[in-house]
Chains A and B, each alone.
Chain A
Amino acid sequence: MNLQLQKPGLSQGELHHYLTRGLTPSLRQKPNSNLPQYDISSVTADPAAYSRPTTERISTRLADAIRASGYILDLEDDWDEEGSSRFSEATWERATNFVKQLALSYRQSAGIWIDPPRILPGPKGSIDIHWKTSKREVLINVPDDDKCPADYYGSGGSADIIKGKLETSAKNEWILVWLTR
């Protein structure tokens, strides 16, 4: 496999770094002109991340998915032509932090990164997280009110259903264990 083709623009040194330790800070901060730009420094630009165990850093794909979901914050009032209000940054951060923590926990226990979810505008100012694998999928709704727990429903067939509410600040790694079972 030609890794240079998969990661165009990486120098030899950067490629080595990417393969062994993840993206370098300079690459991680490189803007993507096709997408809205958001400060995700808490996710990727923390220099201390390099002194932590490998599992403290998030995958490039997850960072990209979180960055891309920032378009939600660009949506203005009446964005759907049905009079819906814009989304709050606090709700988006709660949802994306939840996703990061889940992925990190799973990485620590399973040793691999899971494919990132779709992070989407939800009803009434909430954020939807749609996480799907080849066998199962789950829809998690993070409400606008930070005092309310998230609501989830997942299925891998009629006899394989999970549903309920969860605290986004708690460890919920079991969801990804179920999803990837």
Chain B
Amino acid sequence: MANEIISPWEKERILDDAILYMRVHKNHFDLDGKLIPRVFQNRGDGMSTDWNKYSTQEECQQRARKPSENAIIQLPVAEVRKIADQKVEHTPIYEPLSEPPILNRAHTDVFGEKTTEARFHFMKIYSFAIRLEKQS
């Protein structure tokens, strides 16, 4: 009988007043240091973010492969839900046996196709939580 890993974390309902943090790799800035709309896209089924109930902006940054090469932006859930076809869903990750282990109770997906229209609107609602460090 295979060992089944059961997540201790239930999926929770995310209220409109919540904030989502999202990592932005340094290559998602243009030559003038402005964010590019491409950053708003799905990886797999959804766009990966962290819910501020279970993650600080610093913790979100530390989950990057190279934290210093990532800025953190924040998205108000109420505003995300106003964008056509976008759904915010708590999707905690509990994979203690993966290499390295992935334990992220804050993980939240923004499902829905990231059309040109959707990306346009995401560009209007984000703000910076942690800016990119100046490159030497």
Residues of A whose CB lies within 8 Å of any CB of B are 35, 68, 71, 75, 79-82, 118, 120-123, 128, 130, 139-141, 151-155, 163
How many whole Å from A24's CB to the nearest CB in chain B? Answer: 26
Which residue from A35, A82, A123, A153 sits with its C-beta under 8 Å from B25?
A82
Judge whether B119 and A139 touch: CB under 8 Å: yes
User: For B43, what are the chain A residues with a Cβ–Cβ distance below 8 Å?
Assistant: 82
User: For A155, what are the chain B residues with a Cβ–Cβ distance below 8 Å?
Assistant: 120
Given contacts A68-B31, A81-B65, contact A121 B120 (CB under 8 A): no
Residues of B whose CB lies within 8 Å of any CB of A are 25, 27-28, 30-31, 34, 36-38, 41, 43, 65-66, 69, 114-117, 119-120, 123
User: For A151, what are the chain B residues with a Cβ–Cβ distance below 8 Å?
Assistant: 115-116
User: For A79, what are the chain B residues with a Cβ–Cβ distance below 8 Å?
Assistant: 27
Q: Is the interface of A mostly helix, strand, loop or mixed?
A: strand
User: For A153, what are the chain B residues with a Cβ–Cβ distance below 8 Å?
Assistant: 115-117, 120
User: For A128, what are the chain B residues with a Cβ–Cβ distance below 8 Å?
Assistant: 36-38
Judge whether A80 and B115 touch: CB under 8 Å: no
Give the residue name and chain of the B residue nearest to A65 (CB).
Answer: B31
Q: How far is the CA of A139 from the CA of B38 in the complex (A)?
A: 11
Give the residue name and chain of the A residue nearest to B117 (CB).
Answer: A153
Judge whether A123 and B38 touch: CB under 8 Å: yes
Of the candidates B30, B36, B65, the one having the most CB atoms from chain A within 10 angstroms of its own CB is B30
Q: How far is the CA of A35 from the CA of B30 in the complex (A)?
A: 13
Judge whether A80 and B28 touch: CB under 8 Å: yes
Which residue from A35, A75, A121, A152 sits with its C-beta under 8 Å from B116?
A152
